[in-house]
Each structure stands twice: as C-alpha cells, then as structure tokens.
Structure 1
Amino acid sequence: MQTRMCPDDVAWEQAEEISDNWLAQFLKNDVLRPIGNFVLDHNEGIGTEFAILKKGSYNISLRLKDENEATIIRLSQPGAVFFPEEKVVNEVAMMRFLTDKTSIPIPFIHHSGTKKESPLELSPFIIMDYIEHETKMYDALNTPGCPTDERGILDSAIDEDRLEMLYGQLAGILLQLFTPSLPRIGSLSQIDDFTWEVTRRPLSMNMNKLVRLGSLPRSKLPDLRTTFTTTSSYVEALADLNMEHLVHQRNDSVESADDCRRKFVARRLFCKLARDKRLTDPLLEEGPFKIWCDDLRPANVLLHENLKIAGVVDWEFTYAAPAEFSYAPPWWLLIERPEYWLEGLEDWTRTFDYRLKTFLKVMTEYEDSAIQQGRLKEDQRLSGHMCQSWESGDFWVIYAALHSFAFDVIYWQKIDPPFFGPPENPEGAWKERLDLLDEKEKYEMEQLVARKLKEMNTRILAWDPDEYTVAFSQQLKRQREEADEAHTIHKAVDNEVENKGNETGTSGFSETHTLSDKLAATHLSN
C-alpha cells in the first residue's frame, strides 16, 4: 500500500525536461550578457561581477555585485512554475506588505515585470537586493554530514541551547506573520503606497504541484478573481481539490482497484466533513484571516555567522488564510515532512511531539518578552493555539488539506479514527466506511475504478501547463526536429563525399565545400 500518492511520472519527466533545457541556456554568454546589462540598467549602472547564484525549485537567480553591495534578478522557470505571472505579482505585493507591516528582514525590491518586459523575454522576474549571509537555518538544524542530495532531518544530537536559540528566532517570524489581520482569504494586491487588499485567489504551492505533477486541469482551481469570506468555504474548496486530484491524475495515482476505492472513500468522507463544517472552528468562520506562507521553512531563512537571522526569502506562495493554518505548529521543526519519515508516521509524531515542547517553550518566552515591551498583545499569542491544534488533531486536518500527495496516509491514520471511530482492521478501514457513502457515490467510485484500470494499460501525457511552458516545449521540439534534419543532411553529405572519393580516387574535399554551401542554403531556407 502506498503511504502517499505518487506524482504522474510522465508529467514529471516532461516538466523536468522543459525546466532543465530552459536552464541550460544560462550557460551561454549571449544569454547572460543581456541579462547582466538589464540588471545594470535598473541598478544605476553599479556592478563589476555578474554570475549565476543558484537554481531553486521554482526560479533561477543571478547576482550582480561590486565590492559594497549586490543585487539579484530572479526568473521563474518554465516547467517548474505553472502560474508565473500570477506568482510574481503576488510575491511582490506580499513582500512590500510585510516590509511595511513587520520588521522581518526581507529583500528590497527594485523592479519586477512580466515575461514581455524581461531580458530576452525569458520569464517574469524580480530584481531585488541580495542579502549577505553565512549559512541557512536548514544547515544549522540539519544532521551534520548529511549529503546534499539526500533529504535533511533535524540533528538528533543538536545542542539544546543552540536549538532553543534557532527555534526562538523562527517563533519570532511566525508571530510577526500572525499579527496583521485581513478580511478575506486570498492573495494581496497593492492599491497604493499604504493600502493592500485581498483581490485574487490564494495561489498555493499545492495548486502549482497539482497542475504540474497531478494532471489537474487549471479550470478545476478556483477562478483567478475568487476570494473566500469564510474558513469553511475555503477548506471545502481544498477538500474538493483533493478529490479532483484523484479523478484527473492520469498516471501512477492508484496501484489497484481496491487502492482506488480506498483513496476515493477517504476523499469523499473528507469532503463530507468539510461540507458539514466539522473540520473548522465556528468561532473563526469569518476571520480575521492571517498571513500564511506555504514555503516558509528553514531552507529559506538566511543566517549570519553568529546564527542570527539575516533575512527571509521566497515569499511566492504567501496569502491570507484561515487562522487555523497559523494555529497549526510548523511541520518543518524536524525539517523532514511526516509522509517521508523513514520510520513511519507514528515515529514522526513521537519525535515531533518531543521537539514541539521545546519550540512552544521558546515561543512562550518570546511572547512574554514582546508583550512586556508592548510589541505584542495578549490575544496575539500563538503558543496556546499551537498546543491545542496539536493535541486536538486539527494539525493533521490542515496538513491533509494542504498536501494532496500526502493525503491518504494522513487521513487514514490521523483523521478518520477521531471522526468515525477506530476501525476493526486499519488496513481495510475503507471497507468499513462504505456504508457512509450513498448509492450514487458508490456508483461514481466504481466508474472511476473502471476508468483508472483501463488507463493503466497506457501511459500518455495529460496535463494543462501554462502558455510559457507550452511555448518553450514547442521551441524545444522545433530545435530537436532541426537537429534531426541536420543530422540526416550531414549523413547524406558524408555518404556523397565518400562515393565521390571512391569514384575519383581522391578524398573529395572540393566536393565537400560545394555540399557545405548547399547545407547552409538548406538551413537558411528553413
């Protein structure tokens, strides 16, 4: 039995191929030079060194620096980001909002723009300050010697004082994010220098992943201008997305007929719980809503040499969300996600519970100090809410709603038993829950099973990428066709040269020159 739903490997391979080939062009000087000049134009002509800084999960960053300061341009990767324009607009608005409303050290934005406005029309971009740093919170918490190509995990032997110091700084970031309140759920737009409003859908990391690796049509997502005024309506929309994910992922979504049934039952019951408003707190139904960052984790927290925070980066999937999201303690206290924990979910739970006590201890101390200094109000404490979310199991509801590929293992072990009672046979719990479905739902389930089993006989690409990913994919296809054609012509040239040489007893060099001219003319005509 799968502990998590596998991504569509056909879609994943295609997405990676597009992204890798798009990134490869940055090794060429005729691409780097225009980008460098572009950054210079928006940086008052300052800069003596320009180079690739890093490739992230969603972007590539290039740095322009001199002896005093540095600026980076960050471009979204086709094949990795399926909502590039929306992502950049959201991130710019959120970074400026947080700069205005908090003291979190965030890069200053100099300029941003669309693909059309970018150098060589490569992709949507942001030009911002580079934050000098010595290391990242991830490296300070990770197990020493962990290979860079392996998944990190919190150092089990970490010094307690060191852990408290690092956790305390992370607690301070979360408390600052929790302080502003917003009237709707969604992404921010900057109206003027001092005004922001929630005007667009909450674009999440999970939504991007569902379209990229889950074959989910973009039409199944909330409309761009959709915002939410109640917590239950948003959680219900997330529950529906998990069901749509199962329905639409073309490849690798199920192992067998019963595996499909098990996944269908879990999602249908979760949707029922959401629709009946059993997954949310009625006292928080209409807000206020809080800032939530899907990608806030130790890898995006930069540290000075003394391990003090230098800056926090990567705010692209940040939006106003239900307060319950902020109430849930951060899963990344252990660095590793629960569904990937090698020793299983129960061991992750025990280890997390132990480390959470340390985190809540230092958060409470931070809250006490901030309240004494007038930087925080008593009703803005988070520690008590996090403790309650963990103890009640609400943490798992939020996690399952936000992580579609991890949904199954979380639902059956952490959500189903509290709501429907412990099953007699945990492995076959879905069979015991069939009576909770009506006849129409059972019919839908069997129809889906039949379709999934039929689809397992073939593996085709079925996805709905953005226009930029499609455009680069088509460009890549044309380049390959031209390369194949050139290879065919070269092979014909070689054969003809060899034949001429055999006829005349010479190497055929003069004929090669004539045929090369023909080859050049062929390329020009194409």
Structure 2
Amino acid sequence: MHTMRADDMAWEQAEKISHNWLLQFLKLEIKKPIAMFILKHHRGDGTEFTILGKGSYNISLRTKYQNSSVVIRLSQPGAVFFPEEKVVNEVAIMRFLADQTSISIPFILHSGTKEESPLELSPFIIMDYIEHKTDMYDALNTPGCPKEERGILDPNINEDTLEFLYGQLAGVLLQLFKNSFPRIGSLTQIDDFTWEISRRPLSMNINELIRLGGLPRSKIPDTTFSTTSSYLEALADLNIEHLVHQRNDAVESADDCRRKFVARQLFRKLAREKRLIVSPFEHGPFKLRCDDFRPANVLLHENLEIAGVVDWEFAYAAPVEFSYAPPWWLLIERPEFWPNGIDDWENMFAHRLKTFLRAMRDCEDTEIQKGRLDENNRLSSHMQQSWDSGTFWIVYAALHSFALDAIYWQKIDPMFFKAAENPETAWKERLGLLDERESEEMEKLVARKLEEMKTRVLEWDPDEYTVEAIAKAAEAGWSPLDRQERSRD
C-alpha cells in the first residue's frame, strides 16, 4: 500500500543545507568563539571542547570541566523551520518538567536567540551534559544492526530485560500524563512557578510537512485550540493542503492522486462530523505530548537504568487520546516502514504491547501505593482500549501525514464504512461519498498534478534562517542543489 513520498528535491536541498552548515564546525575560528561563549556563561577551567554529535535537528558541542560537562545545542538550518519558536518551546517545557515531574532532564544554564548566540549561528540552549553509557535505542535494537540502517526491536531480546526497559519508558509517560492543561498548544513560562498555553502546538509533523512536503508556512494554524475536534479538523486540513502543495513525488498516476484525495477528504469529513474520535474530553483537560520522545532520546547508565531524557522539542498539550494511544516505538520501527507490511507490524506490536502494559501496570501500582496516582488515572487500561478500538491508528495517522494513505485505507476506512473488496481499489467505492464540488476539485487537482509530473521544480517555503544559510553557502561557492558531492568528510 502506497504512502506519500517526501519531495525528493526538497529533501536533497534540506540535507545539503544542513550538511554544508555543519562543515563550519570543523574550523577552529568557529569552534573557539563557541567555547569562549560557554566559558563566559559557565565559568571554571574547561579542560576539553568537542563536537558531541549531530542529531536530526541540532548539533551539540560539549565543554568538559574537572567534574562535569556542559553542552551547547544549536538548531540546524535545513532541518528546523521554526528555530526560534522551537527553542523557546523546548526551554519552557524543560523548565516545567524539572519543576513539576521527577523525570531526569538536563538542567538549563542559559538559552537565547540567534542574535544572542556565538557568531549569531542559531538559537541555542546551554545545559548540563548527562553522563551515560548507552541509550534505550541501542539497548532495544537488534545487535549488529549497522548504524546507517533502520533499527528494529531485537526479536530475541530477553523478556525480563524488555520488561525492565519498557517499565522505565512507561514511568516517563506516566509522569507526562499527570499534568493537565485547559487548551491545546505550546507552553509559555509566565514566572518561576506559572506556565500557560498561549502559543500554537508546534508538532514534528508540521516541521516535516514544510521541510519535505512543500507546505507553505502560512498554512500552519497560528492559534491554540480549545477542543479536540477543532484540532483534529485542523490536522485533517493540513493533510489536504499537503497533497495540493507538494510539488514533486506526491502522486504516481491519476488514480493514485484520486485515491490520496479521497482518503484526505473522508478523513476530514469524519473529523468535521466529530466521528473520528468521540471524546469524553472534547473540552479537555489536555495532556502533554512530546513527538520526539522515543528510545534514542532516553540515555542509560551501565546498569540500563535511565540517566536522563533529552530532546524535548515538539512538545505541547494535546488531546488526551494522543496520550491514550500506545507508543508506536515499542518495535523501534514505524508501521509504514516495517519490512513485512503493516499487518505483520500489527501482530508483532500486539505481542510486545502485552509486555509494555504489564510493565506500566507495575509502575502504576507503585505510584498508587505511594499516593501519587489515583486508581482511576491508570494509563494502561486506556492504552489497551485505544489499541483494541483502533483509535491508535486514527491518532497515528493524525500525527504522521506521510503515512496517512497506507494507514487510512488499511486501518481507518474499514472502521467507518462498509468493508471494501480490496483496500487498493476501495477509493472507487467511496467516490459516492464526495459531493459535487469535491469531485470537481479532485479532477482539477488530478489535471494539475499530471501537468506537474512533466517537470521537476523546487517549490518550498524555507524560514529566514535557512534562506540565510543558502546565501552564505552561495558566497562560499557552493550551490545547495549541486548534485556533485563535495568532499566525503
């Protein structure tokens, strides 16, 4: 079953910009001012300054002291399309979690805008480095899996070890779940003890739609939400805009375009009719969700106990059903990329979910005994129900636009409409559900997409920060779309 592919031209452009920007960190004249900047904000005798590593969205550089280490983390252009907003959101959520939960997170020493950063490189956070031996991803991944390949949960992992690791992840999710908010959106810190939801929810999916899906930034909602259904409808609207705006690799044929259009229209119709998720918590309370909370961001000591949890970007208050959905990363790999298809992923996931929920129930029992959790607030039973009812798939599709097509036709459509003879051609049986205006719109889009397929053009809407990185690269005589690889550094 086809998913929506990313725009390959946009992908290549984004990767090239990031790569080129990162090369400067090999130069002493760049590293030195950064090291001095850290020393200015964290006095003491720094003994060593190194590049810690490049993540999906950031680069981290570390200064070692006698008894501790400090990290500065900078956002990569080409990877992050709302860098200032992302960093402000992340600082607010980290301070909230440090104050309101027992999750071990890095202590923030300082943060600031691009203008306030060393050499005006990027918005930044300076924080304590968390000493660790490994991370949850490596502990769960199949041994010997090459770094560059996509990881998959070790099929032969010891069940006790798995339950121990899952139990710790469950503990973090329980901590996040305890906090409630009156609106859907990102946190703002008002004073030392007060936070409120005053900015739009900035999700990882939104960043990826702009980076790889050709979505104009103007299409992103610029508001908080007071109901679950209004937020789901906004997400459904984004999926339609995505199909309309992605310039390359969006469709494979006229019928493929129709199938993708029908899936998005029906998903939105169900959202508008408040059938997609019938929520007893339509008006809240809403719960914290971090799109980037996954095994790779959970650092472990040698004894496999959690040392700390990092990368809190893309965290916001979301509908409670998003927290009720079991975490997709139990198998490490996403369903749409699973080698043997979504149905096989589902079977494997159901098997591992039993272990995860058993570990979570143990965690809940402990919290209840200590008087820190109410019997009625168990997350495990809601997760089981989300999985059994199929709501898990609705949440997954709402959060992962590029996977929508495969998930919609295989998992969501049969929940709401008479089972189709074949998921591949189900869209033909659903054409009658479109009104006349939608059918006309579909045929206009098909004609436009077929015309677009004749040429490949880069159409995307980068932020000022990324535009500046392109200009600097051009000054250095490098063209972001030059397919010739420069040095293989």
Alignment TM-score, normalising by the size of structure 2: 0.97
The CA deviation at 1:419 is: 0.2
* Partner residue, 1:246: 243
The CA deviation at 1:100 is: 0.6
Query: Where does 1:306-325 land on structure 2 (aligned, <5 Å)?
Result: 306-325=303-322
Q: Answer yes or no: is 1:80 the counterpart of 2:115.
A: no
* Partner residue, 2:215: 216
Tell me, yes or no, if the aligned pair for 2:11 and 2:211 is still in contact at 8 Å.
Answer: yes
User: SS where residue 283 of structure 1 aligns?
Assistant: coil
Query: Where does 1:321-332 land on structure 2 (aligned, <5 Å)?
Result: 321-332=318-329
Percent identical residues: 73
Tell me, yes or no, if the aligned pair for 2:205 and 2:401 is still in contact at 8 Å.
Answer: yes
* Partner residue, 1:41: 40
* Partner residue, 2:382: 385
Tell me, yes or no, if the aligned pair for 1:73 and 1:127 is still in contact at 8 Å.
Answer: yes
2:232 corresponds to which letter in structure 1? V
* Partner residue, 1:505: none
Aligned partners of 2:456 and 2:325: how far apart in 1? 39
Aligned partners of 2:196 and 2:417: how far apart in 1? 40
CA deviation digits over 1:409-440, x for unaligned, max 9?
00000000110021023221000000000111
* Partner residue, 1:104: 103
Query: Where does 1:289-300 land on structure 2 (aligned, <5 Å)?
Result: 289-300=286-297
Tell me, yes or no, if the aligned pair for 2:44 and 2:65 is still in contact at 8 Å.
Answer: no
Aligned partners of 2:77 and 2:232: how far apart in 1? 29
* Partner residue, 1:519: none
Aligned partners of 1:369 and 1:114: how far apart in 2? 42
The CA deviation at 1:282 is: 3.3
Aligned partners of 1:198 and 1:147: how far apart in 2? 41
1:320 corresponds to which letter in structure 2? A
Aligned partners of 2:316 and 2:279: how far apart in 1? 21
* Partner residue, 1:491: none
Aligned partners of 1:481 and 1:200: how far apart in 2? 37
1:72 corresponds to which letter in structure 2? V
The CA deviation at 1:281 is: 2.6
2:154 corresponds to which letter in structure 1? D
* Partner residue, 1:234: 231
The CA deviation at 1:280 is: 1.8
User: SS where residue 18 of structure 1 aligns?
Assistant: helix
Aligned partners of 2:421 and 2:212: how far apart in 1? 35
1:319 corresponds to which letter in structure 2? Y
Aligned partners of 2:40 and 2:204: how far apart in 1? 32
Aligned partners of 2:188 and 2:200: how far apart in 1? 11
* Partner residue, 2:352: 355
Q: Which has the higher contact order (CA 8 A, sep 6+)?
A: 2
Query: Where does 1:269-284 land on structure 2 (aligned, <5 Å)?
Result: 269-284=266-281
Aligned partners of 1:48 and 1:211: how far apart in 2? 41
CA deviation digits over 1:431-460, x for unaligned, max 9?
000000011100000000000000011111
The CA deviation at 1:379 is: 2.3
* Partner residue, 1:475: 472
CA deviation digits over 1:348-404, x for unaligned, max 9?
000000000111111111111210111211222100000000000000000000000
Q: Answer yes or no: is 1:263 the counterpart of 2:260.
A: yes
Tell me, yes or no, if the aligned pair for 1:105 and 1:310 is still in contact at 8 Å.
Answer: yes
Query: Where does 1:18-417 land on structure 2 (aligned, <5 Å)?
Result: 18-223=17-222, 226-417=223-414
Aligned partners of 1:420 and 1:176: how far apart in 2? 37
User: SS where residue 368 of structure 1 aligns?
Assistant: helix
Aligned partners of 1:331 and 1:282: how far apart in 2? 21
CA deviation digits over 1:275-320, x for unaligned, max 9?
0000123311011000000011000000000000000000011000
Aligned partners of 1:392 and 1:339: how far apart in 2? 20
Tell me, yes or no, if the aligned pair for 2:45 and 2:66 is still in contact at 8 Å.
Answer: no
CA deviation digits over 1:82-131, x for unaligned, max 9?
00000000000000001111000000000000000000000000000000
Aligned partners of 1:438 and 1:333: how far apart in 2? 40
- Sort the Cα spacing of 1:55 and 1:164 in 2 relative to 1 into closer, same or farther, 3 A: same
1:349 corresponds to which letter in structure 2? E
Aligned partners of 1:19 and 1:366: how far apart in 2? 41
User: SS where residue 253 of structure 1 aligns?
Assistant: coil
* Partner residue, 1:514: none
Aligned partners of 1:421 and 1:151: how far apart in 2? 36
Aligned partners of 1:94 and 1:59: how far apart in 2? 17
User: SS where residue 282 of structure 1 aligns?
Assistant: coil
Aligned partners of 2:450 and 2:394: how far apart in 1? 30
Tell me, yes or no, if the aligned pair for 1:178 and 1:380 is still in contact at 8 Å.
Answer: no
User: SS where residue 85 of structure 1 aligns?
Assistant: helix
User: SS where residue 470 of structure 2 aligns?
Assistant: helix
Q: Is the radius of gyration larger for structure 1 or structure 2?
A: 1
Aligned partners of 1:413 and 1:222: how far apart in 2? 29
1:341 corresponds to which letter in structure 2? W
Contiguous gaps of at least 5 residues in structure 2: 480-489
Tell me, yes or no, if the aligned pair for 2:214 and 2:461 is still in contact at 8 Å.
Answer: yes
**How many corresponding residue pairs?**
479
The CA deviation at 1:481 is: 7.6
CA deviation digits over 1:441-493, x for unaligned, max 9?
000000000000000111111000000100110121222189xxxxxxxxxxx
* Partner residue, 2:487: none
Superposition misfits of 4+ residues, deviation over 4 angstroms:
none
Aligned partners of 2:288 and 2:478: how far apart in 1? 48
1:338 corresponds to which letter in structure 2? P
The CA deviation at 1:49 is: 0.4
Aligned partners of 2:423 and 2:271: how far apart in 1? 23
Return 338-347 or 364-373, whichever deviates more.
364-373
* Partner residue, 2:420: 423
1:221 corresponds to which letter in structure 2? I
User: SS where residue 390 of structure 1 aligns?
Assistant: helix
Aligned partners of 1:95 and 1:270: how far apart in 2? 34
Tell me, yes or no, if the aligned pair for 2:135 and 2:298 is still in contact at 8 Å.
Answer: yes
Query: Where does 1:6-17 land on structure 2 (aligned, <5 Å)?
Result: 6-17=5-16
Aligned partners of 2:276 and 2:315: how far apart in 1? 22
Return 90-99 or 275-284, whichever deviates more.
275-284
Aligned partners of 2:376 and 2:92: how far apart in 1? 27
* Partner residue, 2:429: 432
